DNA sequence: GTTAAATACTACAAACAAGTAGCATTTATG
DNA sequence: CATAAATGCTACTTGTTTGTAGTATTTAAC
């Protein structure tokens, strides 16, 4: 159960970009809009590009824009691409491989909550977020 | 949204100890029962002792036993003592201080899931876990 | 073609979390 | 009292994540 700082950065970046889905954003512009260290932001943008969420256009007047429709990009995919699925779905006791056949007391207590989390992350797309009646990000 | 490896270790340790609430456990014994590096385990036990979950008895034949009834120790308290409340309750976008008055699109999407997590951790005590009809840990 | 403004690549540095080691202290046992 | 078996304290080491720097590459504009 772990969302790294980097994943949270990705949420900010993609969430912001999703406000205007078709715009081409430069790293510099994004840095002005969002509070993330510039060089790190740039590296993340390249990573997100490699992960297939956005695509980059090189050269002067270049930048980043979505590679797919924002309604098709779920929060779970973003988490998975950076932290990996196990960061959410892994053993709550921290075991790499379960030795209790996925049914120890702790597992049973936690299972429902974990599923709720996975469901929310899986069902929520970037478009869902920005359909919300707010005008921030 | 973050449970550190150390918190997961604490779940293992206290969950195991809660099986027999009144027993005095030595670090050596716990190390045999649970797969945690011995020296690190010992340090954790001291920390958990300082946090008031267990109490230590020094000297030969010493060890650790619960300082309070296991029904009074919630998972949330354990998480809080190691990672801090914000590891769970903090901003999903990673901001240290919210600039959106706790109501941006992402916040609203995430809120219910976060509350579910907090509720589960807060309502579940060590006793609850071990009342479960399983015999592992 | 040269310049300027953008991304790409790769290595390094700093901060943090996890794990290890040595030695001090406490106390039951004989 | 001496020994043994336990916890307590503090510093060090290792590994991972986060952040920075330098340089190369791409492409629009002039
Ligand atoms: S059953 Fe227990 S040990 Fe196995 S994956 Fe679930 S929580 Fe972890
Ligand atoms: S409103 Fe948005 S920025 Fe503020 S704490 Fe909630 S998620 Fe974070």
B6-29 tens-digit pLDDT: 999 999 999 999 999 999 999 999
What pLDDT is attached to residue B136?
A: 42
Of the candidates B121, B132, B129, B119, the one whose C-alpha atom is nearest the C-alpha of residue B14 is: B129
Residues of B in contact with A95 (CB under 8 A): 35
Which listed ligand is nearest to A110 at the C-alpha?
Answer: 1
CA distances from A117 to A3, A19, A112, B114 (A): 12, 24, 9, 8
Give the per-residue pLDDT at B133. Answer: 44
Per-residue pLDDT, averaged over B28-45, amounts to 97
What pTM does this model have? 0.94
Total length of chain B: 137
d(C-alpha A85, C-alpha B58), whole Å: 43
Residue A99 confidence (pLDDT): 85
Q: Taken in order A102, A104, B45, B52, is the CA torsion positive or negative?
A: positive
Closest Cα in chain B, distance from residue A59 (Å): 30
What does pLDDT average to over chain A? 94
CA distances from residue B37 to A47, A107, B6, B32 in whole angstroms, order as listed: 35, 22, 11, 10
| Token couple for A82 | 């950076």
- What phi, psi does A108 have (nearest 5°)? -65, -35
pLDDT tens for B78-130 read 999 999 999 999 999 999 999 899 999 999 999 999 999 999 999 999 999 98
| B113:A109 CB<8 A | no
Region A89-96: mean pLDDT is: 96
Q: Any atom of strand C under 7 A from CB of A96?
A: no
In this predicted structure, the answer to whether residue A131 has a pLDDT above a threshold of 90 is no
The answer to whether A4 and A21 are in contact (CB under 8 A) is no
Å separating the CA of residue B43 from the C1' of nucleotide D9: 10
**From B120, which residue of chain A is nearest by alpha-carbon distance?**
A113
Q: What's the fold here for domain B5-130? A: Arc Repressor Mutant, subunit A (1.10.10)
User: Three-class SS of residue A58?
Assistant: coil
Residues 6+ apart with CB under 8 A from A132: B105, B108, B109
pLDDT, chain B, mean? 94
Is B46 near strand D, with its CB below 7 A from some atom of it?
Answer: yes
Taking the CA of residue A14 and the C1' sugar atom of nucleotide D14, their distance in angstroms comes to: 35
The alpha-carbon gap from B11 to the nearest alpha carbon of chain A, in Å, equals 6
Judge if the beta carbon of residue A1 lies within 6 A of ligand 1: no
């Amino acid at each position: 159960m772990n969302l790294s700082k980097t994943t949270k950065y990705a949420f900010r970046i993609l969430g912001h970009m999703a406000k205007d889905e078709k715009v081409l954003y430069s790293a510099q512009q994004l840095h002005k809009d969002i509070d993330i260290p510039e060089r790190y932001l740039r590296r993340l943008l390249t990573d997100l590009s490699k992960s297939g969420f956005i695509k980059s256009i090189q050269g002067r007047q270049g930048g980043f824009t979505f590679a797919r429709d924002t309604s098709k990009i779920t929060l779970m995919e973003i988490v998975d691409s950076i932290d990996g699925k196990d960061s959410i779905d892994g053993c709550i006791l921290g075991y790499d491989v379960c030795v209790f056949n996925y049914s120890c007391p702790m597992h049973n207590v936690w299972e429902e909550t974990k599923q709720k989390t996975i469901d929310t992350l899986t069902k929520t797309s970037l478009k869902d977020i920005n359909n919300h009646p707010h005008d921030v990000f």
